[in-house]
Amino acid sequence: MKQITLSWQGSIALLFAVAAMFMLPLYAAGAPAPPSSATTALITLLVIAAALVCFAPLSTAIAATALFIGTHSAAWLLLGTLSGNERFAGASFFLLLAAGWLLASRCVTELSELQPPTHVGKWLLRLLIPAIFGAWILIIWEAITRGAGIPFVILPPPSAIWARISGSLPILGEDIRQTIFKAVLIGYAVGCLSGFVVAILADRFTFLRRGLLPIGNMVSALPIIGVAPIMVMWFGFDWQSKAAVVIIMTFFPMLVNTVAGLAASGNMERDLMRTYASNYWQTLVKLRLPAAMPFIFNALKINSTLALIGAIVAEFFGTPIVGMGFRISTEMGRMNVDMVWAEIAVAALAGSIFYGVVALAERAVTFWHPSIRGG
């Protein structure tokens, strides 16, 4: 059991909740569908109860559970009162929202102190903490855009973006197929593989290493908006030109990181391989490539985001009437900002999945590395 301690999140949240009680109602006069007094009282009580949990002598697990239930129940009820009352939210509404956010941060603090005894528990906890962060970004976004009446063309609420996503699945599916499954994946595979092969050659032949790396630093600084139109002129308007842009963007990060990784093995290990009469290729396969794997996967993770950015931006400069970049460009011109944000959300989700797959592969391959064992 914990001793009673002061919590700055709980103290400020409690002050916000008390201040909100003196500034009721939640919505300004003229709101079409103001919430009932019982709903308002329940939201306030949930926030106050969650704030008091911060000071109670409870175990970390119980405190985190109580904070999670209290804050998210209050947030769910608070967002529910927005229906029909857009643009009418008052000071008490935003004070309770701020109090809920502070208590959610306290919940994350409590969760971070937990040490689950099982591997599954640790894995679930690693997912839950960022999920709470992400959920509260969406909650605050939804509450501010709808409650304050921010114009739709400036920033649509997440609910409108989700409605657009669910209503445009065939269009989004075609855009994903064109951009990700053609341009991104093909360009990523070719760029990373060619960068890896050239790095091996550059490591074997000194003149290549001395000549290519300075050029690589120069080419990696080229602006994509200058390269993309040239690739469209060379390879046409279809996905091939976008894949070419992705190849250029992913080739040199892989080259530079692989060359650095091949030099990461220590002199003592190399001397040991020489005492075993190992030739260059045996030393490369059994010592230097395993030691370079953290560097190689670092390049793969960097390229997983660069590839998606490169393909989408390249589609701004010429593409068939399909693709994520094409859709963002055309729908922005029509002021259909919800569709633009839908494409952005899908691209962010796809990029996160892509990065996550590479990170999982890294953990499986470099399980021996201290950074993985420590996690």
pLDDT in tens, the chain (375 residues): 456 667 888 899 999 999 999 988 888 888 888 888 899 999 999 999 999 988 888 888 898 899 999 999 999 999 999 888 888 888 999 999 999 999 999 999 888 888 888 888 888 888 888 899 989 999 999 999 998 888 888 888 999 899 999 988 899 889 888 889 888 999 999 999 998 998 888 877 777 777 777 776 777 677 777 777 788 788 877 888 888 889 988 888 898 888 888 877 766 666 666 676 676 777 777 777 888 888 889 999 989 888 888 888 888 877 777 888 888 888 888 888 889 999 999 998 988 888 888 888 888 887 766 666 555
pTM greater than 0.85 (yes/no): no
Q: Count the neighbouring beta carbons within 10 Å of the beta carbon of residue 208.
A: 16
At 301, the amino acid letter reads K
CB of 34 within 8 A of CB of 85? yes
CA 129 to chain centre: 14
Nearest to 44 by CA among 69, 18, 79, 15: 18
* Radius of gyration (C-alpha) of the chain in whole angstroms: 27
pLDDT computed for residue 42 by the predictor: 93
CB of 20 within 8 A of CB of 99? yes
In the DSSP assignment, the letter for residue 89 is B
CB of 236 within 8 A of CB of 183? no
pLDDT computed for residue 276 by the predictor: 65
Residue 82: CB partners within 8 Å, gap ≥ 6? Answer: 89, 142, 143, 146, 147
Q: Rounded to whole angstroms, how far apart are CA atoms 226 and 209?
A: 27
Q: Rounded to whole angstroms, how far apart are CA atoms 181 and 172?
A: 13
pLDDT computed for residue 249 by the predictor: 87
Residue 21: CB partners within 8 Å, gap ≥ 6? Answer: 44, 92
Nearest to 265 by CA among 290, 285, 297, 282: 290
Longest pairwise C-alpha distance within the chain: 87
Nearest to 320 by CA among 228, 231, 238: 238
CB of 196 within 8 A of CB of 258? yes
pLDDT computed for residue 228 by the predictor: 78
pLDDT computed for residue 1 by the predictor: 47
Q: Rounded to whole angstroms, how far apart are CA atoms 198 and 230?
A: 24
Q: Rounded to whole angstroms, how far apart are CA atoms 78 and 35?
A: 9
Q: Count the neighbouring beta carbons within 10 Å of the beta carbon of residue 130.
A: 10
Angle at CA of residue 289, ends 287 and 294, nearest 5°: 115
* Cis preceding-peptide flag for 35 (omega within 30 of 0): no
Q: Rounded to whole angstroms, how far apart are CA atoms 249 and 307?
A: 7
For residues 264, 267, 269, 273, the Cα torsion angle rounded to the nearest 10 degrees is 110
Q: Count the neighbouring beta carbons within 10 Å of the beta carbon of residue 142.
A: 18
Q: Rounded to whole angstroms, how far apart are CA atoms 336 and 330?
A: 9
Nearest to 199 by CA among 259, 110, 115: 259
Query: Look-up: residue for tokens 């996503």?
Result: 165
